[in-house]
Amino acid sequence: MTGYDTNLISIDLHSHTTASDGTLDPIELCNRALERNVNVLAITDHDTVAAHHFLQKHWQNDDLQLISGIELSTTWSGAEIHIVGLNFPLDHPDLPMVINAQGESRRQRSHHIAERLARRLPDWEADAIFEQVLDIAIAKQRCSEHGFELTPDDIQIGRPHFARWLINQDYVNNMDSAFRKYLDNSKIGNLKAFWPRMSQAVAWIRVLGGTAVLAHPGKYRMTATKLRALIKDFKLAGGHAMEVQGSNHPQSQIDQIARYCQDFELLASQGSDFHTPDYPWVDIGRLPPKLPNGLEPVWSQWLGG
């Protein structure tokens, strides 16, 4: 698409719906984006494009350009790394293979989490926990007034759904303590073992004809040396871009990532990582108005200039 003055438009390339761990259904998310004057939106649910397939059938609004997207969980050098894929054809013949592979990893991992929890909570069998967590995800979708509902096989459940279950069962009071007490990587065992390597995910996105983006590089709690090694390997694997800014990122972090973006000749992306209106400091389109100087935006390839 051309004809946009990209200085005047609001672009958010990272967001979630009830297809993964967001709390808005796809149409609610788009409506919120419009209300908040977002013009270009990528929905990037964890390991699924179900929201996009739904919107293709049930939604159209010329004021909001949707970019296809997905956020893949991967592993690199002992760390869990998220790779966002953008702007690939939703009917690509290899897309189901990627989603099935990630879905299978996620399901095995969810059974593993259920087993680990059952060991700590003697009243519970792992299978019962798993079924109840799946029910939570399904029940959340049934609330959708727009009829967005996936089958149990298509829903991507993850730790936020387990957190909700722990809250419902009164083991904890809120999401944060659910993660702190039960669900952080150190608590639940080696979850990374279930994911493909980062280089595999980058290769998949390239096969799909998409743009591979290193998601939220400031969030991995790495030393600067390790972060540079990660970005170097991402570039070597064929990665195209990196998220330079999101909602609520400190300026010093944005400046650091912007420098790395230039050093490794990556395109710059931005996205709020919106999940829910309950956290207003991470809202859709809540981003600095401009990318740091000297960076080439990832969207210049799609929107013209």
Q: Enter the tokens of residue 185.
A: 């990587």
Crossing angle for the helix pair 224-236 and 198-207, nearest 10 degrees? 40
Residue 15 is given by DSSP the state: B
CB of 208 to Mn ion, least distance (A): 19
Stretch that binds ligand AMP, among 85-93, 152-160, 194-202, 239-247 (CB under 6 A): 152-160
Q: How far is CA 7 from CA 207, 257, 284, 285, 297, in A?
A: 31, 21, 18, 14, 11
> CB-based burial of residue 78 (10 Å sphere; 0-12 exposed, 13-18 middle, 19+ buried)?
exposed
Stretch that binds Mn ion, among 107-115, 173-181, 209-217, 253-261 (CB under 5 A): 209-217
Stretch that binds ligand AMP, among 52-60, 155-163, 254-262, 289-297 (CB under 6 A): 155-163
Q: Is 107 in the site for Mn ion (CB under 5 A)?
A: no
| Closer CB to Mn ion, 124 or 283, in the complex | 283
Instruction: Tell me the site size for Mn ion, rule CB under 5 A.
Output: 5
| Adjacency order of strands within the sheet including 211-214 | 69-76, 79-86, 211-214, 241-245, 267-270
| Closer CB to Mn ion, 21 or 25, in the complex | 21
Nearest Cα to Cα of residue 191 among 133, 114, 134: 114
Task: For strands 241-245 and 267-270, give the pairing.
Answer: parallel
- Judged by phi (left if over 0) then psi (alpha if -120 to 50, else beta), residue 87 lies in left
Nearest Cα to Cα of residue 216 among 66, 16, 27: 16
Q: Is 41 in the site for ligand AMP (CB under 6 A)?
A: no
Q: Is 158 in the site for ligand AMP (CB under 6 A)?
A: yes
Stretch that binds Mn ion, among 65-73, 102-110, 176-184, 191-199 (CB under 5 A): 65-73
CB of 297 to Mn ion, least distance (A): 19
Measured between alpha carbons, how far is 261 from 167 in angstroms, rounded to an integer? 40
Q: Is 82 in the site for Mn ion (CB under 5 A)?
A: yes
Q: Is 46 in the site for ligand AMP (CB under 6 A)?
A: yes
Q: Which of 273, 285, 298, 299 binds Mn ion (CB under 5 A)?
A: 273
Name, in order, each residue with C-beta under 8 angstroms of 136's C-beta and a sequence gap of 6 or more. 161, 164, 165, 168
CB of 87 to ligand AMP, least distance (A): 21
Binding mask 175-214 for ligand AMP (x = CB under 6 A): xx--x-----------------------------------
Instruction: Tell me the site size for ligand AMP, rule CB under 6 A.
Output: 10
Stretch that binds ligand AMP, among 62-70, 115-123, 172-180, 241-249 (CB under 6 A): 172-180
- Name the percent of the chain in helix, strand, coil, to the closest 5: 45, 15, 45
- List residues binding Mn ion (CB under 5 A): 21, 71, 82, 215, 273
- List residues binding ligand AMP (CB under 6 A): 21, 46, 73, 158-160, 175-176, 179, 275
